Amino acid sequence: MDEPTGGASAVAEPPRGPSRTRLLLSLASVVLLADLVTKLIVVATIEPGEDIRVLGGALYLTNLRNTGAAFSFAEGFTVVFTLVALAVVVVIVRTARRLFSTGWAVALGLVLGGALGNLIDRIFRDPGFLRGGVVDFLSVFGPDGRIWPVFNVADSAIVCGGILGVVLALRGIEFDGTRSTGKDPADTA
């Protein structure tokens, strides 16, 4: 029996709406620009190791170079982290074609912008190609990362995008904007 137009069918195509690729790329561009501008200002105005106390000591501005991963972990593996960042960028750009979820566009845009910001440092800063030190400059509750590791705008965007991605995945929201329902009924037979 044919169903009337607008009724649910056994295999319904999800309503997609417009692709969210433009949102992803716009947000990534804003994050990248903010990261690059803040790093340029820090490098031009703050001497390495200098600490500037702001917000009553809740935040310190400094100028440190991180050749490792987050929190200066594994500093001898800079080339590996650079290649991982390149892979992340490629995967996100390839995923963008099938992106119809606003939440996922925001999450991936934050991660992409942050990954590109730190990748640019690794490619172009000393000590050399693929081994450059990422400029970190935000230290909370104490100077020089005594309380919390020093970070930058790109790091913040990556963490926020990652947290949002976990929340979306836990809620079962797919890249195409549909919600997964858990187990496939065919798997229970």
- The residues assigned a catalytic role are 136, 155
Are 118 and 43 a contacting pair, CB within 8 Å?
A: no
53 and 60 Cβ atoms separated by less than 8 Å: yes
Q: DSSP letter string over 128-169?
A: -TTTPPEEEEEEESSGGGSSS--B-HHHHHHHHHHHHHHHHH
- Contact between residue 136 and residue 49 where contact means Cβ atoms under 8 Å apart: no
The sign of the CA dihedral 121, 69, 29, 24 is positive
Tell me, what amino acid is at 78? T
What whole-number distance in Å separates Cα of residue 53 and Cα of residue 74? 29
Q: What is the C-alpha separation between 152 and 63, in angstroms, rounded?
A: 10
Contact between 155 and 72 (Cβ < 8 Å): no
